[in-house]
Structure 1
């Protein structure tokens, strides 16, 4: 295990199987503070996602990386979508479950489906709705990069993406993203732009590290330093640090993985920070967003 020479995650975080990087509870708690609530979401992101789903007539949405529910799922429930939310981290899901209970009398929340599920067995963990799949499946916020390449051949990535693609109905959408790892690997640091998903004012520092094993890039780690309100004994803001590790999906190979997951039967468009992306363009995006429509 890489952890024997380099700690890839905060203490207490699971290291076996599909790792729950929020299993110690502290990372999940601080992450919840870091992303804020639905009001902290960027207007650009909200308008883009809602516009995309409504343009394609999507109603039944599967969020395969819902986390605490705050970034995507709750917004979609509030906007009238029929949402199924799954995540591999039970520590993250407890926040979503609490929100559903607290708002159970509001429209849509009593019908919000929340389940623990693993991408490696997603086709067995999540029953498909009538009609052969969901109108849209989303995996946003750089979530897919949490899945490591333990065998060194990306077979886990291939299986997970195949399972995720299988949840999309014919004519439906898969919306999935990843950080601009091409830029991170070539420069050693993340692009300078702001986070496109949420407006956190608690972040004090994010340090990027690139780990190479046998001359091959193995993972990227991000060390977050977050100001936690009232964390000190005097009740003043304190600092909390945690580390998350990611597999660095570069644009070209990840595009190939996605198209293979659909057996080539898809329409595929790529955006950089919600705008059409052209290789070689002057603006360096922080995130690449892939939109795939399943075809026959």
Structure 2
């Protein structure tokens, strides 16, 4: 049974092929932009973690493969990185393109590249506008990868996409990829309303639903309610659906995609794994083998 037969994870009229655009109706994209705030509202822990590791490893070029509205990409551009930003959602990319236009007088933003791309065809998509390019780092953060559902029941597409991410990296390049602590969410049936990535200034309520098929969790639906306090249009509701990646399984998929010679470090809410008993997020940092 497909997840979409039980939970509608995308708007009517969106094709089922490829990575689902759950923001295609524009409503979720607009509300999500309010939820994440602007680039000045990123949590300092997140910024220190990401930029610290990028600089420690000498990274210059960064591919943001789930750029959404462009918030993380802008943070990296401001810090002097050469950034290419892609997303499968044209509705989300409109916000990123608008943000770049508003920064047109800042010379750093002249080299910020924003394009539409699909994870399933990512290396080919990148080569279509940047032939021969490989990156020092690829980032896929904010629980973005979990948007890709398991249509076939064997995670074949997810595995292929992870291999595509590795292919876009230079030898020694880094992949930053994360997922929520779905192990805990499945056990408790609840999701923390505050994200380690965002300093949202609005009250947020998240209702959690878990779809179990033949004893196996197949999908988690999060219904977001954000109260912006705006008269007549203060509350915004939208649903996003995610594949519930378990830590052990996801770790093994990454290791297989990158090969045995890759280095794999796991963090909990940007801290050493052992320091956080029940984290909200797991962050994986893969270092591609150098030869």
**TM-score class normalised by the smaller sequence:** over 0.9
The alpha-carbon distance between structure 1 residues 129 and 19, as it changes in their structure 2 partners (threshold 3 A), is closer
CA apart distance, 1:230: 2.5
* Matched residue, 1:28: 29
Retained in 1: the 8 A contact 2:9–2:241? yes
Retained in 2: the 8 A contact 1:221–1:244? yes
SS of the equivalent of 2:28 reads helix
CA apart distance, 1:129: 6.3
Retained in 1: the 8 A contact 2:193–2:206? no
Question: Please, which of 283, 287, 291 is the counterpart of residue 281 of structure 2?
Answer: 287
CA apart distance, 1:15: 5.0
Instruction: Give the number of the structure whose residues are more often helix, by fraction.
Output: 2
How many Å separate the matches in 1 of 2:95 and 2:193? Answer: 29
The alpha-carbon distance between structure 1 residues 213 and 182, as it changes in their structure 2 partners (threshold 3 A), is same
When structure 1 is superposed on structure 2, of 246-255 and 102-111 the one drifting more is: 102-111
Retained in 2: the 8 A contact 1:22–1:92? yes
CA apart distance, 1:102: 1.5
How many Å separate the matches in 2 of 1:13 and 1:39? Answer: 35
* Matched residue, 1:109: 109
How many Å separate the matches in 2 of 1:106 and 1:132? Answer: 25
SS of the equivalent of 1:104 reads coil
Runs of 4+ residues deviating >4 angstroms? 128-132
CA apart distance, 1:181: 0.6
CA apart distance, 1:173: 0.5
* Matched residue, 1:195: 195
* Matched residue, 1:265: 261
Instruction: Provide, for residues 109-159 of structure 1, a one-character-per-residue CA deviation record: whole Å limited to 9, x for no partner.
Output: 111000000000001001296886200000000000000100111000011
TM-score, normalised on structure 1? 0.92
The alpha-carbon distance between structure 1 residues 28 and 148, as it changes in their structure 2 partners (threshold 3 A), is same
List aligned pairs for 1:66-77, cutoff 5 A.
66-70=67-71, 72-77=72-77
* Matched residue, 2:96: 96
- Please state if 1:244 is matched with 2:245: no
- Please state if 1:38 is matched with 2:39: yes
* Matched residue, 1:48: 49
Unaligned runs of 5+ in 1: none
How many Å separate the matches in 1 of 2:276 and 2:95? Answer: 40
SS of the equivalent of 2:178 reads strand
Q: CA-atom RMSD, angstroms?
A: 1.8
